[in-house]
Amino acid sequence: MNRKIALIGANGMLGTEFMYKFQAGNSKVAPLTDRDIDITDYEYTLEVLTQIKPEIIINCAAYTAVDQAEQDMEMAFKVNALGVKHLAQSADKLHSHLVHYSTDYVFPGTNADGYLEDAETAPVNQYGASKLQGEQEIAKTLAPHQYIIMRTAWLYGNLGKNFVRTMLRLADTMDVVKVVNDQIGSPTHTKDLVQWTTDLLKLSAYGTFHSVNSGSGSWYDFAKEIFRLAGKKVETVAVTSREFPTPAKRPAFSILINKKLEKALNYPIKKWPEALSEYLHSIKL
C-alpha cells in the first residue's frame, strides 16, 4: 500500500493489527491514538487530518464497551455516531477515502440464516444503535465510492482483553468453565480483517461489506475449540444467556453472510476454526 494513510485508533485491538501489517511493509502511515486526535471534536479532527493530507482514513476508533454503553449512552453516540460523522465530513473536505468498522449488533439477531448487507437493521442495544447511526452518517455524507464500511463481529487479536485470552486464562485457573450456548456468531481474527481491508483498497472496491471468518458457532463452541486446539483439559458447560445476565441485550443469531466480500476479493474467506488455529500458533502456545 503506497497511498498515504491516517490510521485512527492506532492503539486499539484492530488498530494495533494494522500497525503490525504496515510496519512490515512500506506503507506511508500516520498512526493516531486518542492522544493525537479526538474524533468527537470536529475542528481538531479536521486540523490534524489536514496536516496529514491522507488519501485514505482508516478508522479503528470507537466506543466499544457494549455493556457500559447502556448507561453511558451519550458517550457511545458521541464517539460512534458524531465522531464518525466528523470523519466522514473531513474525508469529504480532504477528498480522502474513509474505511470504517461496524458490527453485527446493528441487526436484531432473529434470523438464524444470517444477514446480507442490505438486510433490515434493528439494533437491540445502545452500542448497536450508536454504531448504526455512525454508518448512516457516512452514507449521508459520502458517495458509496468514497467509503468502505466493514461490518465485523467477535474479534480477537494480539492486544488487550479478548475472549480467546480470557478462556485460556480460565482454563489455567479453573476446572469447570461455563459458557453461553444460545448466542451464535462468527469469531474473527483481526489479522484476517486487516488483510481483507487492504485487499479491498488495492482493488478499489467500495461500499458496505460483511467481513467475518466463515462459518458460525456459539460462544460455547468457540470456547470448546480454543481448549481443543490449545490442549487444555477443562470441563466446558453450556449455559443459557439467562444464566449470565448482562446489562446489554445480545442478538441471538449474529451471523453475517460474507458472499459479497468473497466475490470482491475472489478468494475464499478462511473458516473460523482455521483462523483460530493460526492465531493460537502466532501467540506461541
How many residues touch ligand NAP under the rule CB under 6 A: the total is 26
Give start and end residues of each alpha helix (H) in 150-218.
163-173, 190-203
Q: Which of residues 200-229 bind ligand NAP (CB under 6 A)?
A: none
Three-point CA angle 241, 245, 247, nearest 5°: 125
Q: Is 144 in the site for ligand NAP (CB under 6 A)?
A: no
**Whole-angstrom distance, CA of residue 164 vs CA of residue 179:** 12
Query: Is 20 an active-site residue?
Result: no
Q: Is 254 in the site for ligand NAP (CB under 6 A)?
A: no
Which of these segments, 117-125, 152-160, 225-233, 261-269, binds ligand NAP (CB under 6 A)? 152-160
CB neighbour list of residue 169: distance below 8 Å, 6 or more residues apart: none
Q: Is 34 in the site for ligand NAP (CB under 6 A)?
A: yes
11 versus 277: smaller Cβ distance to ligand NAP: 11
Amino acid identity at 251: P
CB of 235 to ligand NAP, least distance (A): 26
Give the CA distances from residue 209 to residues 152, 212, 249, in Å, rounded to whole numbers and listed in that order: 9, 10, 24
Q: Is 38 in the site for ligand NAP (CB under 6 A)?
A: yes
Residues present in the chain in total: 285
Q: Which of 76, 91, 124, 153 binds ligand NAP (CB under 6 A)?
A: 153
Helix axes 126-141, 84-94, angle to 10 degrees: 20
State the binding string over 67-106 for ligand NAP (x if CB under 6 A, else -): ------------x---x-----------------x-x---
Query: Cell 482493488 identifies what position?
Result: 203
12 versus 114: smaller Cβ distance to ligand NAP: 12
60 versus 269: smaller Cβ distance to ligand NAP: 60
Q: Which residues of 260-270 are buried (b: 16+ CB within 10 A; e: fewer)?
A: bbbebbeeebb
Retrieve residue 183's grid coordinates: 448466542
Active site members: 127
Q: Which residues contact ligand NAP (rule: CB under 6 A)?
A: 9, 11-15, 34, 37-40, 60-64, 79, 83, 101, 103, 131, 152-155, 160
